[in-house]
Amino acid sequence: MRVPCLALGCLAAASSAVAGVRAADRVQLIRVGLESLGVAQEVTLTSSTPFAAFDPDSHKVLAEWEAGEAAKVRLDAGSLQVGRLSAPALYFSAEGPTLKVVGPSSTREYRGWIQLSIRGSRIWPVNELPLEAYLTGVLPCELGASNPLEALKAQAVAARTYALSRIGDFVKEGCDLVDNTRAQTYRGATAEAERTNEAVRQTANQILIFDGRPISALYATVSGGVTASAREAFGSEVPYLRSVPDVDESGRPFATGAKYFEWEASFTQVQVSDLLQKAGLFTGPVTDLRIDGTTESGRVAAVVVVGPVSDRRIPATSLRAALGVNVLRSTFFTLERTPDGWKLRGRGWGHGVGMCQAGAVGRAKAGQDYKQILAAYYPGAQLITVPGSALTLANRGGITRQKYVGKR
């Protein structure tokens, strides 16, 4: 069996299916913690091609498997055990483009390398691969492949920029990013689609900057016809994250007709009382709810919770968190009293800051290209193409690949 190469250049094979990945990207690698695979004391790896386990520091081959064989790695007595091999951390690489990882919550295929190490009482899998290859596993999860190409290209630039802006936030977890909504949803090669791969290729190494740094390219599912500013949503002024109307020349919202552009949610008095008490926001029965002010984009700023003894003003974002962000989908709502509680009618889903994904789709259908879409949602930001790898602008805080190994 030809042993898979662990030198940095060997990712050419692992990335060959993703055209447009530059040579520099095979050196500049992003590390994604595969948190969505679930908390595991055992992880199984397999591949359609021969693969091997390596020592992370020396790159020495420690064990090999033929195509179709399985490497069952388990946590035992503070070490990773696979067959007769015992080590604190292992790197896995295949001759072919992908490795399949079987976790307790899901099974997926990934490009690049898979590092297994120990975090607390679990095996911690990290996928190490070029940034552009990472994006091919993000885009279909964040904006479906059936959408217009210009919207997908705008999403590719936003996702690439957002990834760069978050690098450094997860150093204590031994990675650059995680694969869930704490960063961006990433599902590896399993999620890839040719149309979203094309959007990544056509925008390769393009990012948005402000004052020479990658911007925090936030985006939300549906804005409801007007985006929110960073100040109203998070309390901090960000020049390129301003509230902007998301409507065409006739005043029609670009996201009209999108799922959750409009929504309703109903709660009984008992439900509201219980949920607010559970969240530590109010004690005792709630007798009334009143909107107390709106933001510059028309979203609810705060709600006064009325009880038999006292009242309390709470931020609308806190109310949303308490009642459930997938039920009270945004703070863009009105309140109506019902016989047993309240009905909330609202628009949009998410914080509403930055690019509205449904609006981007609407803009693309109206003939806007991805540059126009990005300029509309991130006013003042500059679109540039980074020579080589955009990861050169990432804030890793001096952490090297070797220093990641064994991080707790």
Predicted pLDDT of residue 396: 62
The model's pTM is 0.88
Predicted pLDDT of residue 17: 29
Higher per-residue confidence, 397 vs 196: 196
Residue 203 CA: distances (Å) to CA of 58, 105, 109: 36, 33, 24
**What would the mean pLDDT of 311-329 be, rounded to a whole number?**
96
Check pLDDT > 50 for residue 356. Answer: yes
Residues across the chain: 408
Predicted pLDDT of residue 395: 65
Q: Say how many C-beta atoms besides its own lie within 10 A of residue 392's C-beta.
A: 12
Check pLDDT > 80 for residue 132. Answer: yes
Beta bridge partners of 177: 32
Whole-number percent of the chain with pLDDT over 70: 90
Q: Which tens digit of pLDDT belongs to each residue from 193-247?
A: 999 999 999 999 999 999 999 999 999 999 999 999 999 999 899 999 999 999 9
Predicted pLDDT of residue 39: 72
Check pLDDT > 90 for residue 113. Answer: yes
Predicted pLDDT of residue 197: 97
**What would the mean pLDDT of 344-362 be, rounded to a whole number?**
96
Q: Which tens digit of pLDDT belongs to each residue from 263-300?
A: 999 999 999 999 999 999 999 999 999 999 999 999 99
Residue 134 phi, psi (nearest 5): -60, -45
DSSP reduced 3-state for 114: strand
Token code pair at residue 29: 């690698």
As a whole number, the mean pLDDT across the chain is: 89
Spatial contact of 229 and 297, defined as CB atoms under 8 Å apart: yes
Check pLDDT > 60 for residue 301. Answer: yes
Under the banding of pLDDT at 50, 70 and 90, the label for residue 397 is: low
